[in-house]
């Protein structure tokens, strides 16, 4: 009898042990579910065009862009600026100070901020240095370019028995014979063998004789001199 009771107790104990340990065993034995991995986000570079330009960067970009220099007219080797000449003054980084100017009869030009500057009697390079020095009082490190747009000061005057009397521009090397041709030739009743070229040299007026007939026939060609600004040709 006692033996039978002990067997029943052992059986019940074994069953309870199986019931109690089953959840833990199942929890230990069951494989852990695979976790989903989210790929890391790759940083996207902002396109250069989409970046916002700051005022400082815009000003810096504008300052590094060289200005467009207009084409000028060819100038003779001995050219100096004179009244009525047309010039373009260009300031790099200072657009408001740039512009076209005409040399006044008194030989000066007017520029914004700088006001009056003597131009007549100077070469383009000398004027550039003068303007640069004057602008240095108002702007930092001024960069100046001077372009000759038109030469109106270099003139020769034709008087007397000539096809078209009056002033004529002297844009380049021109001889007496060439200028007479430009002015329409000598008159029918002119004394073409007594033509005179009046010129100021070293503050004094001198005259040079020119025999039109001789030169056209290939004689005394040394009379066919190169003209200079301010010369006056008189055809009697």
pTM, to two decimals: 0.57
- The predicted-structure confidence for 95-145, as pLDDT tens digits, reads as follows 889 999 999 999 999 999 999 999 999 999 999 999 999 999 999 999 999
Superfamily (CATH H level) for 155-235 = Outer membrane lipoprotein wza domain like (3.10.560.10)
- The predicted-structure confidence for 183-221, as pLDDT tens digits, reads as follows 999 999 999 999 999 998 888 999 999 999 999 999 999
Best CATH choice for the domain 70-150 from the list 2.60.40.10, 3.30.930.10, 3.40.30.10, 3.30.1950.10: 3.30.1950.10
- Which tokens is 15 given? 């069953």
- The predicted-structure confidence for 131-175, as pLDDT tens digits, reads as follows 999 999 999 999 999 999 999 999 999 999 999 999 998 878 899
Backbone angles phi, psi at 228, to 5 degrees: -125, 155
CA atoms in the 13 A half-sphere facing the CB of 41: 3
pLDDT at 22: 46
CB of 164 within 8 A of CB of 183?
A: yes
Q: How far is CA 184 from the centre of its chain?
A: 41
The residue among 189, 188, 178, 184 whose CA lies nearest residue 215 is: 178
Residue spans of the domains in the chain: they are 70-150, 155-235
4 burial class (0-12, 13-18, 19+ CB within 10 angstroms)?
exposed
pLDDT at 1: 47
pLDDT at 35: 53
Please give the Cα distance from 17 to 133 (Å, whole number).
Answer: 107
């Amino acid at each position: 009898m006692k033996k039978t009771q002990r067997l029943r107790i052992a059986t019940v104990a074994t069953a309870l042990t199986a019931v109690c340990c089953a959840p833990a065993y199942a929890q230990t034995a069951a494989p852990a579910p695979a976790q989903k991995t989210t790929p890391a986000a790759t940083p996207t570079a902002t396109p250069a065009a989409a970046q916002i330009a700051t005022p400082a960067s815009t000003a810096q970009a504008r300052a590094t862009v060289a200005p467009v220099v207009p084409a000028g007219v060819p100038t003779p080797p001995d050219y100096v600026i004179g009244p009525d000449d047309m010039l373009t003054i260009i300031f790099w980084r200072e657009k408001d100070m740039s512009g076209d100017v005409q040399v006044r009869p008194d030989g000066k030009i007017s520029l914004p901020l700088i006001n009056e500057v003597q131009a007549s009697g100077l070469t383009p390079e000398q004027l550039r240095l003068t303007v640069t020095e004057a602008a240095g009082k108002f702007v930092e490190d001024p960069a100046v370019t001077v372009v000759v747009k038109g030469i109106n000061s270099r003139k020769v005057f034709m008087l007397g028995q000539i096809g078209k009397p009056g002033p004529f521009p002297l844009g380049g090397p021109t001889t007496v014979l060439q200028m007479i041709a430009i002015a329409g030739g000598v008159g029918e009743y002119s004394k073409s063998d007594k033509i005179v070229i009046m010129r100021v040299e070293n503050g004094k007026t001198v005259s040079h004789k020119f025999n039109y007939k001789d030169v056209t026939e290939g004689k005394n060609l040394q009379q066919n001199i190169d003209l200079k600004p301010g010369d006056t040709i008189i055809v009697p």
